[in-house]
Amino acid sequence: MFATLSDRLTATFKNLRGKGRLSEADIDATAREIRIALLEADVALPVVKEFVAAIKERARGEEVSGALNPAQQVVKIVNDELVAILGGETRRLRYAKSGPTVIMLAGLQGAGKTTLAAKLALWLKEQGKTPMLVACDLQRPNAVQQLQVNGEKVGVPVYAPEPGNGVGDPVSVAKASIEEAKRKLHDVVIVDTAGRLGVDAEMMAQAAGIRDAVQPDEVLFVVDAMIGQDALVTAQAFLDGVGYDGVVLTKLDGDARGGAALSIRQVTGRPVMFASSGEKMTDFDVFHPDRMASRILDMGDVLTLIEQAEKAFDQEEALKAAEKLTGGDFTLDDFLSQMQQLKKLGSMQKILGMLPGMGQIREQLENFDEREIDRVEAVIRSMTPAERANPKIIDGSRRARIAKGSGRTVSDVNQLVDRFFEARKMMMQMAKGGGMPGMPGMPGMGGPGGGKRVSAKQKAKQTKGKGARKSGNPAKAAQEAAAAAAKAAEAKPNPFGIGQDIDYEAAAENLELPKDFSKFLK
């Protein structure tokens, strides 16, 4: 969603790199580019003016003029201001001290309230709560049935005493749902209300009636992030007519410019609490202003990636895989298991998009074929257990059979086997502390500043036919010879248990030193 804005801001900051100090012209040019980027992203004009003024004021201050790297300091200022207009701190749900916590959803028709209700219920369920969904959208055709289907998907009960499709009183249903929740010991009630194609008095009156009937702990305004500037008009109308405590942005995975997300907090004063970014029920999470700002500036969102990985990955399986790597018996079965866990994280495009700097290869990410993992899985499953355990036995005829069984070509099988051996070699090196090969300046890595990890066998080959290195300093050389003799004595100890004596003069003579250096040995 923020791709255009992110690209413009990244290009703007590139112009600042390498400058020891920023002139007034540099600051004005940067502010102008940021203003254009925000306006193109559909951010409200009052928000743009306030945002740019704050950046210019801070950029002219001491924190930039006295900084070692002014350009990086400007990026930090933009990041801070983005976090501020997105809400500053993460806003969490308030739970009732006694009785069920009631969460009411409000918004326009088509914003995705019914789907979001089920997503929120699943998220609460994962937090250890026992939610119940309430069908109070009795106007839209099949809205009740849609909520029931979604509730079944996430394993959450739905209270729907009325069939809907224009039949029933939503206020009575909402009121009765609280007693039902108490009776069945549900600690959270999520009320899905009706929406309209536009803001009207009847819709506002109905939403206000439900609010008064259930006295919700949280009223969440659900807004489609793709409707642009109109989102602000709608948000203000709902704030005046019904009132709400927080905002939920839906369809953040769309191709809209994202200005609503940046404007709604500043205009309404209500924080964005949750974000929905996909069609799956798991594509829902708490909205973190600092992480969203980091994504916009192409600095990634590693914290969210770690949190998702912790939920998706089996810790025991990961430990077993790590042990196998260090032991050198990592097989294609283990590789397949790791890939299946990776699939649980969701779209590879989303996962890779959370890494810093991925905006520079956005086109390649967008062209990534999500089915590639399925194809690899098909090839591995076409192998016998023996072949998966020891891929070295996969010869030409076996590769032809595997290709035929998986519906792939022999070259695909060849590529998979070759990549597996390369990946296993690299992962074993990393597991043993060797680090990533080819990276400079780190232990166990090739390249400048890092020593290449060499096995004992390789060392033997390298030193074969060469004499041991001798120091040019005769005194030091004598000490080295003595140390070598002592080490040999330890390896083959004297049978009488007495340390062997070392003839230092003989050791010195063996060094074949010039006569002039003999005085240093006395």
Extract the annotated binding site: 107-114, 192-196, 250-253
Q: How many helices (H) and strands (E) does the chain have?
A: 24, 8
3 state SS for 333-376: HHHHHHHHHHHCCCCHHHHHHCCCCHHHHHHHHHCCCCCHHHHH
Report the candidate in 419, 420, 381, 422 with the shortest Cα–Cα distance to residue 402. 381
Angle between helices 70-85 and 289-296 (to 10 degrees): 130
Q: Return left, alpha or beta for 444; rule: phi > 0 is left, psi -120 to 50 is alpha, else beta.
A: left
CA distance 39 to 42: 5
CA distance 6 to 256: 13
186 and 132 in contact (C-beta within 8 Å)? yes
Q: For the chain, what is the radius of gyration of the CA atoms?
A: 33
List, as one string, the DSSP characters of 186-248.
-SEEEEEE---SS--HHHHHHHHHHHHHH--SEEEEEEETTSTTHHHHHHHHHHHHT--SEEE
Through-space distance between the first and last CA atoms of the chain, rounded to whole angstroms: 80
CA distance 8 to 13: 9
CA distance 339 to 349: 15
CA distance 286 to 134: 22
Positive or negative, the CA dihedral 457, 459, 462, 464 is negative
Which residue's structure tokens are 């994962």? 126
Amino acid type, 439: M
474 and 481 in contact (C-beta within 8 Å)? no
35 and 52 in contact (C-beta within 8 Å)? yes
Dihedral over alpha carbons 75, 81, 85, 88 (to 10 degrees): 100
CA distances from 244 to 172, 215, 299, 363, 497 (A): 21, 12, 32, 39, 87
**Alpha carbon 126 to chain centroid, angstroms:** 19
Q: Can you say which residues are annotated as belonging to the binding site for GTP?
A: 107-114, 192-196, 250-253
